[in-house]
Amino acid sequence: MSKIISILEAKSLIEYKKAYSLMTSLHYCLFKYQNPLYYLNNSDYSTFLNFNNYNQINYNKIYDNNKKNNDNFIGYILILEHPTIYSIGCNTPSDQIQKLQSIISPEIIHFSDRGGMITCHAPGQKVVYFIINLIEFFSPFSADIKKFIIIIQSFFSLFLKNYCNIDTKQINNYPGLWIHNYNNFNYSEHFDNYKLNSNKNNNEKNQNDFISQNYKKILFLGLKVKNSITYHGISLNIHQQSHHFAKISHACGIKDCIITSIEEEIKYKSIYINNLNINQIFTHYIGNFIHYYDDYIKYSNKIF
């Protein structure tokens, strides 16, 4: 029996607090209710938050097919953009919080229960929230949040490579996707991996310095798991966001972290970015997430 993920795409900017309310409500109903699709069909969230139902199958049809058994429904994916907001993860040191609060209005600062540190959301950045039952997602294998993170990052790395001709890298202990900063990069791949993965000879500051000097960040990841169900997710810079991130002293916990975007990266390749097309392609690509996972475990032994 194939697994079903319900995908919702916002038609307009959604305030962070409203999106968080929807995300946590969907998380609760996925954990609590026998048929979470019924809850969504009978709530006013879709209208209130102005979401499009992006399922290729109508909600009611899915619900009808699953009245007797909805074990194949494993969660939701939300695709949206936020008005400018600075999100503070639960691992952020107090001095970095205080510095941000000294220059940013409190109205656009939000303390989040996700992992990670300070990041920024703004128009031109796609945010994707994953409310996924990990046990059902990985079934019949064992659920593992680290594996889930690898899958998510690999999924978006493939998007950037196939549709934008952008090569990205996953780095141990540094969530998200990174791009070589070739203006500064002077190391071989072998030495690169040694620097990033050797804990004996490199402390955290040295590794952070190496990252900030040699890499740019394009995709950000912060997840939380409760009752084996994920929430929060990733953000991907479509258009330039560096002016927002410049106000964060340690973006993602790294001093002088260089932030980039699809727009900035492809201009070096003389590729024109069509905003409408990239949004349509991105949303359509998200619709293949569960199929990507199925193919990943069939053809790869990286995580199992």
pLDDT tens digits in sequence order for the chain, 304 residues long = 578 888 888 878 889 988 898 898 889 888 887 555 555 555 545 444 445 544 333 333 333 334 444 557 888 899 999 999 999 989 899 999 999 999 999 999 999 998 888 999 999 999 999 999 999 999 888 999 999 999 999 999 999 999 888 999 999 889 999 999 876 655 444 445 545 554 544 577 788 888 888 999 999 999 999 999 999 999 999 998 888 888 888 888 788 888 999 988 987 665 555 555 787 888 889 988 888 887 766 665 544 3
Active-site hit among 29, 120, 164, 252:
252
Report residue 162: phi and psi, to 5°. Answer: -75, -35
Please tell me the distance from the alpha carbon of residue 82 to that of residue 125, in angstroms, as a whole number: 8
CA dihedral (144, 148, 149, 153) in degrees, to 10, reads: 160
What residues form DSSP beta bridges with 224?
231
Q: Where are the beta strands (DSSP E) in 106-226?
A: 109-111, 118-121, 125-132, 169-171, 174-180, 215-226
Instruction: Report residue 243: phi and psi, to 5°.
Output: -70, -30
Q: Among this protein's residues, is 90 annotated catalytic?
A: no
What the block records as the tokens of 230 is 């994920």
CATH topology for 4-299? BirA Bifunctional Protein; domain 2 (3.30.930)
Indicate the pTM of the whole model: 0.84
